[in-house]
Structure 1
Amino acid sequence: MRKIAMILVGGEALVDLVPAPGTVPGELGPLLPLPGGGPYNVAITVGRLGAPVRFLSRLSTDSFGDALLRRLELSGVDTSMVQRGPEPTTLAVAGIAADGSARYSFHVEGTADREVAHPGPLPAEIKIVSLGTLSLLLEPGASRYEQLLRDHSGSGGLTVLDPNIRPAMVTDATAYRARFASWLPDIGLLKLSIEDAAWLAGGSQGGDTDKAVAEWLSLGPAAVVLTRGGDGIVVRTAGGVEVEVPTVPTAVADTIGAGDTVHGALLSWLCHNGITTPETLRTVDADAWRAALTFAARAASVTVSRAGAEPPYAAELAVQS
C-alpha cells in the first residue's frame, strides 16, 4: 500500500470574535469567541478530511491557546511541531454583512504566533508545505515562514500559498506586492480569492487579474486557483489548462473560513491522489482538476452553512455524494 505523504501547514492560529446570532447589523452586541486564523482553518480542514497533516505555529499558554490546541487534536491534526509561549493569543473582531461576508479588525501586537521559531530541517515524510495569511506579513515570524518556504522549495518539495490579503494590515502595499512576486519562483500552487488577486494586480481599485495570473504562472507556479464567491472556483495552469466549477447551493450562515476550506480540501485531494511534488502537480489534467475543485466546492458549502469556520469531516461529504 502506498504511504500517504504528510502535509505541513504553517501560520497563525487566533480567536475570531464574531457577533452573536440576532445582532442587528451596525449595532453592538455580544461577541462569541470562535477558533480561527487562515492556516489554522486549513489544517483543521485537512485533518477532518483524513489526510495526514501537521501544524506549525506558536500558541499562547493562555486559555485561548489551550482551546486552539485541543481543537487541532480533536480534528486529527498532528501538533508535535506546535510551539507554546506566554504571549497572548491574536484576536480578530469580525463584522458580518447581510450577505454573510466578513470584515475584520486585528489585535496582533506582541502576540504568540508572531514569535514562531524556524523549525529547522523538516522530517522526510513532509512533502507539502502550505503557508499564508498574516503569518507571511507580521514580523519576526514572517521572515521565518518565508525561509521555510524557500527551504522546502529548494529541496524539491511542493509548496502551496494563500496570501489571504488583509489590506488594513499592510503598511506598504508596494513593498508587499514586490515581496509576493519574490515568492512566486518557490510556489507550486497559488490559491487566492479573486479580491486578493485584484489587489495584488494593481492597487485599491484592482487590476487586470487575467493578465496578472498569466504573469504569475510564468514566474513559477504550476497552477493558480481563484475562489470567486458565488461565481465558483477556477484553476489556470502553466500548461494551459483552465477549469471552472460552480458553487454548491446552500443557505449561507457566514463566509468565515470558506476560502480556507477550499485550500484545505485541495491539499487533502492532492495528498490522497499522490500529487505531492511540483512535477506531479504539473501533470494534473482538466478532468482531475475538475474533480479536485468540485470536492473543494462541496467542502466549502458545508462550512458556509455554519457559523464561524467549521469545516466538514470526510463522512459529511460522503453522505452528500
Structure 2
Amino acid sequence: MIVVAGEALVDLVPTAGGALVPRPGGGPYNVAVAAGRLGAPVAFLSRVSADLFGDRLVERLRAAGVGTDLVQRGPEPTTLAVVGLADDGSARYSFYVEGTADRLVADPGPLPPTVRAVSFGTLSLVLEPGASTYERVLRREAERGALTALDPNVRPDLIRDPAAYRARYASWLPHVGLLKLSVDDARWLAELPPDAPEDAVLDVVRDWRAAGPAAVVLTLGSAGLAVLTGGDEVIRVPPVPVDVVDTIGAGDTVQGALLAWLHDRDALSAEAVRGLDRAEWTRALTRAGEAAALTCSRAGAEPPFGNELGMT
C-alpha cells in the first residue's frame, strides 16, 4: 500500500472566455489520483473540508480507486488556488489558505505495517500547523523503513522565510528515499539564478542525494526527465510530443506514475530504488513522461488511466 499525504484543494482554472472553472487539485491529491488511476493500491492522508468542494474531492478519490480511510473531515473551508496560464500552458498560482481544512490535519499515529511507501510535498510542508504534523509522519515512517518520497513542489509566494524553509528542506533529506523535483524548484532551493545551467543544478542535486535519497528525479520541462541514481549516473529520457493545453498536475502525475511503476515492480524500498539499473530507470521515466504528457493534453489536473497508457 502507498499512502500519499498532503493537501487537497480546488484549482480555479481560466477558460478561453475568461471564466474560472473549479477543478479538483493540490499536489499530493493529484499524486494520489494519478497512482490510483494507474492501478496502484493507494490511500490519501489529509484533512478535507465537509463543504461541497470537499465532498467532490473525496468522491473523485474514490472514483480513482484511492482509499479514504485516512481522510479526516472538518468544517473549515477548502483551500482555493486561482490559476493563471501563460501562452505556453505553464501555470502560476494565487492561494487562499487562511483557516482552511487541509492545514489542520491531525497526526494519524503510526501507519499500518502494510504501508510500504509514503509520499509528501507541496503546500502541506509549508503551512502550519499541518507542516509540522506531516514532518513528524515523514520522519516516523522513514524510521520504520517505509520508502518516503518527497516532491517539494515549491510555491515561493507562500514561503515567508525562504532561508528557514531551505534549512528545513535540508533536514528532511536524510529521511527521504526518493526525491523528485522540477529543475526550477532545484534552482530556487539551491539559490541559483533562474537561468543557471543544468550542470550547476546537477552539482547541487548530487549533494542532496548524498544526504540521503536513493535517487533524485528531475523534471526538465520541454527537455524531458532525468534521474541521478544511487550509482551517481545521470539517465535521461526525451519529452513526449504533445499539444499542451496546460501543465497543471504534470509534475504530480510524474510522481504518481513513478510510485505506481515501483509498486508494479515490487520496488517500494530505498534499497530497491538504489538498485535500479539503466534499463529499469529508462522504462520508469518513459512511463512517467507518457503519463505527464497526457495530463498536459487536457485542462486541469487530469492524470490518465492505465488503459490510456496501454496497461492491462
Q: Is the 8 A contact 1:234 1:243 kept in 2?
A: yes
With the length of structure 1 as denominator, give the TM-score of the two structures: 0.94
Q: In the TM superposition, what is the alpha-carbon distance from 1:124 to its structure 2 partner?
A: 1.0
- Compute the displacement of 1:238 (Å): 2.7
| Counterpart amino acid of residue 35 in structure 1 | P
- 1: CA distance between counterparts of 2:278 and 2:194? 32
Contact 1:242–1:286, Cα closer than 8 Å, also in 2: no
Deviations 1:236-272 (A, max 9, x none): 0231222100111011110000000000000000011
TM-score, length of structure 2 as denominator length: 0.97
What secondary structure does 1:144 align onto? helix
1:91 aligns with 2:80: yes
Matched position secondary structure for 1:281: helix
Q: CA RMSD in A?
A: 1.2
Q: Is the 8 A contact 1:241 1:285 kept in 2?
A: no
In the alignment, which residue of structure 1 is the partner of 2:178? 189
Equivalent residue for 2:281, pick from 266, 271, 289: 289
Q: CA distance change for structure 1 residues 305 and 205 in 2, over 3 Å: closer, same or farther?
A: closer
1:276 alignment partner in structure 2: 268
Point out where structure 2 has 5 or more consecutive residues left out of the alignment: none
Distance in 2 (CA, whole Å) between partners of 1:8 and 1:58 is 14
2:240 match: secondary structure: coil
Q: Give, in whole Å, the separation in 2 of the partners of 1:131 and 1:272.
A: 20
Equivalent in 97, 122, 134 of residue 145 of structure 1: 134
Q: Deviations over 1:191-246 (max 9, x none)?
A: 00000000011156476312210110110001000001110000002312221001
Using the aligned pairs only, state the percent identity: 60
Matches within 5 A, 1:1-321: 6-20=1-15, 22-23=16-17, 29-202=18-191, 205=194, 208-318=200-310
Q: Distance in 2 between matches of 1:265 and 1:205?
A: 27
Residue type of the alignment partner of 2:4? V
SS in structure 1 at match of 2:137: helix
Partner amino acid, structure 1, of 2:7: E
Classify the secondary structure of the residue corresponding to 2:202.
helix
Residues 1:204 and 1:136: Cα distance change in structure 2 (over 3 Å): farther
Q: CA separation in 2, counterparts of 1:41 and 1:148?
A: 20
Letter in 2 for 1:58: R
**Alpha-carbon distance between aligned partners in 2 of 1:278 and 1:223, rounded to the nearest angstrom:** 9
Q: How many residues align?
A: 309
CA–CA distance in structure 1, aligned partners of residues 221 and 302 of structure 2: 17
SS of the residue 1:135 aligns to: helix
Gaps of 5+ in 1: 1-5, 24-28
SS in 2 for 1:83: strand
